[in-house]
């Protein structure tokens, strides 16, 4: 499986992805699922991927035109005039890749080759944008009503995101929140694994503000992971205790 | 969907279930998913159900022999000599019910009629036991390595259970923990809904110690649900902040 989150803040965008891929529980590997391209001062575009690895790698290769000689390559993500068109290009390539694999494999269902992606970035003079691209090539855009998108194993890490998110939080707090969301997911689903990739894009920065690979030896991640258990315990104890007797007198009963 | 949890403590068993059923998002209803039978001083048996409602209702009716006149009914759960045999009976009836529905409906997959159940209880002179019964009729038993079972929408509420569980916790704390787990699930999945059913079975009590239906007007649930957001916020703030600079100096990078 996979877990990736793209989050929109007033300050910009924060993206995190895991790196574990698996074909059965007895065949796990580490692959990058976060990609970004930038023309400093003009644009930055990032893509997070979940789903069939052959599909997602193929999509990224096609976007970079790796079938051509290096000198002849043109990255269409760096030429699209708006982020909306960037998302359109990603969606079209994704849909066509899945469809061609399915049509070349007789009975195999398109779902075998399915994948979804988060597209995030900003182009000079326009707002930062965040999209969720479906296997069918269509996509939706985040707003502050729904300010983050998750792909892959989304459920374990969702409650803490819902409770902890605040649009005016600092990048540092957002990274902490994402680490807790990933930690909950890592603890519950073996097919999501370290290391994590982190990318912070500041509004109008138009290049990566901060980029890091977080592995098991990362001391901050260790501190947050270990400390959260203790902090939750205290939070739990701070709530009043259930009482059998009071319940019996409760007017709602 | 559904969310049910059966939890084993040193003190006994705590069970909680939601009551929402749905056939599409435009057709939701309230149905009980927790059932229990007891012969005070001799045994108590409880069953929690998830999956196809016609299947689970049919299983419960068959266990109670509702096809017979009331005076002739014998509840096989009250006659099985051990909890292991109780679980076997439930599993057999469940498997046969699913199989007969599938075979009577031509192309319809057995998964359409699938269901799973948690079986919990104690018989005099023996230990309290907790089982998870699969649609195939086989089952597994909880131990203190894996002291709780969830069925239905299990993921959103799992991280807090993993972090908060303690085998020697009080019943009151366990109820609080379950309420938080249910609250996280209710907030994330519309197909899990109030009211909740709660049953507490004390070791060697051999009858319900505490039983309650918790609806939206329950003041304790409201307090815990509202207080948890604030408590989590404090817990989140108590953890150290991520620092872009220190990361750059981290030996792991």
| pLDDT per residue rounded down to tens, chain A (253 residues) | 899 999 999 999 999 999 999 998 899 999 999 999 999 999 999 999 999 999 999 999 999 988 888 888 889 899 999 999 999 999 999 999 999 999 988 877 888 999 999 999 999 999 999 999 999 999 999 999 999 999 999 999 999 999 999 999 999 999 999 999 999 999 999 999 999 999 999 999 999 999 999 999 999 999 999 999 999 999 999 999 999 987 554 444 3
* Contact indicator for A66, A140 with CB cutoff of 8 Å: no
Distance CA B131, CA B140 (A): 6
Half-sphere exposure of B138 (CA within 13 A, CB side): 2
Alpha helices in B104-218 (DSSP H): 158-164, 171-188
Cα torsion A247, A253, B1, B6 to 10°: value is 30
The predicted complex's ipTM stands at 0.89
Cα torsion B7, B8, B14, B19 to 10°: value is 30
Contact A223 B239 (CB under 8 A): yes
* Contact indicator for A224, A180 with CB cutoff of 8 Å: yes
Contact A212 B155 (CB under 8 A): no
Which is more confident, A136 or B106? Answer: A136
**Using alpha carbons only, what angle is made at residue B66 by residues B205 and B27, rounded to the nearest 5 degrees?**
90
- Closest chain B C-alpha to A71 CA, distance in angstroms: 32
Give the pLDDT confidence score for residue B252 in this predicted structure. Answer: 45
Instruction: Count the Cβ atoms, other than its own, within 10 Å of residue B91.
Output: 21
Give the pLDDT confidence score for residue B247 in this predicted structure. Answer: 58
Distance CA B204, CA B44 (A): 10
- Closest chain A C-alpha to B97 CA, distance in angstroms: 31
**How confident is the model over B39-85, as pLDDT tens digits?**
999 999 999 999 999 999 999 999 998 888 888 888 989 999 999 99
Contact B242 A176 (CB under 8 A): yes
Q: What CATH homologous superfamily does A3-249 map to?
A: Aminohydrolase, N-terminal nucleophile (Ntn) domain (3.60.20.10)
3-class DSSP state for residue A108?
A: coil
Omega before residue A195 within 30° of 0, cis: yes
Chain A neighbors of B243, CB-CB under 8 A? 172, 220
**Using CB atoms, which residue from B158, B232, B251 is nearest to A163?**
B232
**Using CB atoms, which residue from A176, A231, A234 is nearest to B241?**
A176
* Contact indicator for A46, A36 with CB cutoff of 8 Å: yes
- Closest chain B C-alpha to A84 CA, distance in angstroms: 29
* Contact indicator for B17, B33 with CB cutoff of 8 Å: yes
């Amino acid at each position: 499986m996979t877990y990736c989150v793209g989050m929109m803040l007033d300050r910009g965008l924060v993206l995190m992805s895991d790196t574990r891929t698996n074909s059965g529980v007895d065949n796990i590997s580490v692959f990058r699922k976060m990609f970004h391209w930038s023309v400093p001062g003009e644009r930055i575009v990032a893509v997070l991927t979940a789903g069939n690895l052959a599909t997602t790698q193929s999509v990224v290769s096609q976007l970079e035109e790796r079938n051509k000689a290096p000198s002849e390559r043109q990255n269409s993500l760096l030429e699209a005039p708006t982020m909306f068109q960037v998302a359109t290009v990603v969606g079209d390539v994704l849909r066509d890749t899945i469809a061609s694999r399915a049509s070349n494999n007789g009975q195999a269902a398109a779902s075998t080759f399915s994948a979804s992606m988060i597209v995030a970035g900003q182009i000079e003079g326009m707002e930062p944008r965040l999209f969720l691209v479906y296997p069918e090539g269509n996509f939706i855009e985040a707003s502050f009503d729904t300010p983050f998108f998750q792909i892959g194993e989304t459920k374990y890490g969702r409650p803490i995101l819902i409770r902890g998110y605040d649009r005016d939080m600092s990048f540092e707090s957002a990274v902490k929140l994402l680490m807790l969301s990933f930690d909950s997911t890592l603890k519950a689903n073996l097919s999501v694994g370290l290391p994590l990739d982190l990318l912070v894009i500041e509004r109008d920065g138009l290049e990566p503000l901060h980029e890091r690979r977080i592995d098991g030896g990362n001391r901050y991640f260790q501190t947050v992971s270990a400390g959260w258990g203790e902090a939750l315990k205290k939070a739990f104890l701070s709530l009043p205790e259930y009482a059998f007797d009071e319940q019996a007198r409760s007017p709602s009963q």
